[in-house]
Structure 1
Amino acid sequence: MVIIFFFSCKSDDDQVADNTLAALVAVNTIEIDNVIACASSSPDQQNETITYLYPRPGATDIRYFETSSLDVDKNDFTAYRSVAITPTDFFNGYLKKFNRISDNEKWVIITFFENGVLHISNPIRLKHLTKPTEFSDQVTVDTGVAGMPIFSWNDGFFDDNKIYFQVVSDRNDELLSGTYTFERQFQYYKLDNVVLNITRDTPPTLEVGEDYGYTLMGVSEDNWVNLLLQRQFQP
């Protein structure tokens, strides 16, 4: 169950820095825990993190906030300062991502506006130095049912994944389906075990002999991607 809180906050505290999340919250109506975001290591650089975001249609003014370290209250908005990073496209813009070089681990929050309301993600704990993301292509694809492959996988090095995000994409990297499951299995396109679905339209039937991509993220309770699997397949 997702519990949504609305707040309309005003503050006369001149001590709050203008670039903190607290300052933005103070002058806006906000909605907490209604932004889908998580973060992973980079496969190329040890000190780089990649924060992923699903910007719902109509989302504007996407912002990246971070703390100076982990030694803060993750729910204290005064500890988060805005960082001017322009998000780049992931799956041709269906998702967005922020690449950030950081020599220490910290907390991150992503925000955007939608219909005049400031939406705020849950805190994301970066672990790129102590628990780097495992990158692999170890996904089993069962193509026994035409056009409806079954994907299954194991947890890998870390077993504290709480939810799994999977994307099926076409050869042009267009997202066809984006779903979340608690189980380590997903069948395209069956929603029996899907607990969250960001697929906007009914996805197309997969064509036999065509190339497609499968991306899987195993995400921990604090929104860190422990496992990122990617592979190509033909149904």
Structure 2
Amino acid sequence: MSKFKYIVVALLLSACTSDDTDTLIENSNTLTNYLQDRSVENGAVIACAGNTEDDTVSVEIFFYPEEDATNYRLYETSSTDVDSNDFLNYNRIFLNDAPVFNGYLRKFTGEFTTERWFIVSFEKDNEIKLSNPIRLKNESQPTLFANAISINQQLSQMPLFNWNVNSEMNNAIFFQVLSTINNDLISGTYTYENQFQYYDTSNVILNITNGTPPDLVLGDDYKMTIMDVSVDNWINEIFVSQFTVE
């Protein structure tokens, strides 16, 4: 998990100077204002972002909502030329969030013509939880889309999935979702390796599946979705492939 969170920045909320106080009064939507006098856990929200397949201006910011989490929020900077770890640079952006894969994930969707940083937050147990900064790269490095997933079904009902890495330098982690054709999540896992076998969790570093996943049904169709995510939480590539269980 420590590697999965990548670069964990220690959160030290010091007392505001008079100048800081003036800034907070002028802009109540800053992230710093929201965090003031609150218990905060930094790097606690799993989140990433990527552009859509047909429109690089349209961006989806995905996050994993913990059980009983409330008050989902999204904050943004004005550009990428700022300190991404300085919360004074973030202002709240008001976008509706929607469930993905039965609500195992949620996402904000918006249109962005310039690149910037995002932070996702939610509240749980009287504490504000924050994601690590997410670097929007829809202009400089648009998310790629592919269906080239190798599926080995030598072991019946335990397909082995392999996929190529577009750039090992840009990759930090992979997120895999096995679902029905209607996008009902069956299993959700994270690995460092570019392979996953249903349901072998020996190389899984984080499992968001609730309980034990069901046996796959012979002859039924399923879908595998894989996100190749960078160290700054941008989705380098999304793989989607449909298959029939043998």
Counterpart check, 1:209 vs 2:219: yes
Structure 1 residue matching 2:189: 3-state secondary structure: strand
CA distance in 2, matches of 1:6, 1:80: 15
- Output aligned runs, 1:8-157, within 5 Å: 11=16, 13-16=21-24, 17-156=27-166
Counterpart of 1:180?
190
Preserved CA contact (<8 Å) 1:8 1:29: no
CA distance in 1, matches of 2:9, 2:133: 15
Give the counterpart letter for 1:167 in structure 2.
Answer: V
CA distance in 2, matches of 1:230, 1:43: 12
For residues 189-210 of structure 1, the C-alpha deviation after alignment (integer angstroms, 9 at most, x for no partner) is: 1111111111121100111111
Q: Which runs of 5+ in 1 are unaligned?
A: none
Counterpart of 1:194?
204
Tell me the CA shift for residue 171 of structure 1.
3.0
Preserved CA contact (<8 Å) 1:176 1:199: yes
Preserved CA contact (<8 Å) 1:8 1:28: no
Structure 2 residue matching 1:23: 3-state secondary structure: helix
Counterpart of 2:244?
234
Q: Which runs of 5+ in 2 are unaligned?
A: 3-7
Give the counterpart letter for 2:128 in structure 1.
Answer: L
| Runs of at least 4 residues off by over 3 Å | 3-12
For residues 150-209 of structure 1, the C-alpha deviation after alignment (integer angstroms, 9 at most, x for no partner) is: 000001367521110000012332111111111110001111111111112110011111
Superposition CA RMSD, Å: 1.8
CA shift in 2, pair 1:7/1:57, >3 Å: farther
Preserved CA contact (<8 Å) 1:40 1:224: yes
Structure 1 residue matching 2:33: 3-state secondary structure: helix
Give the counterpart letter for 1:223 in structure 2.
Answer: N
What is the aligned-residue identity percentage? Answer: 41
TM-score, reference length from structure 2: 0.90
Tell me the CA shift for residue 115 of structure 1.
1.1
Question: Which is worse superposed, 89-98 or 120-129?
Answer: 89-98
Preserved CA contact (<8 Å) 2:9 2:85: no
- Corresponding pairs, count: 235
TM-score, reference length from structure 1: 0.94
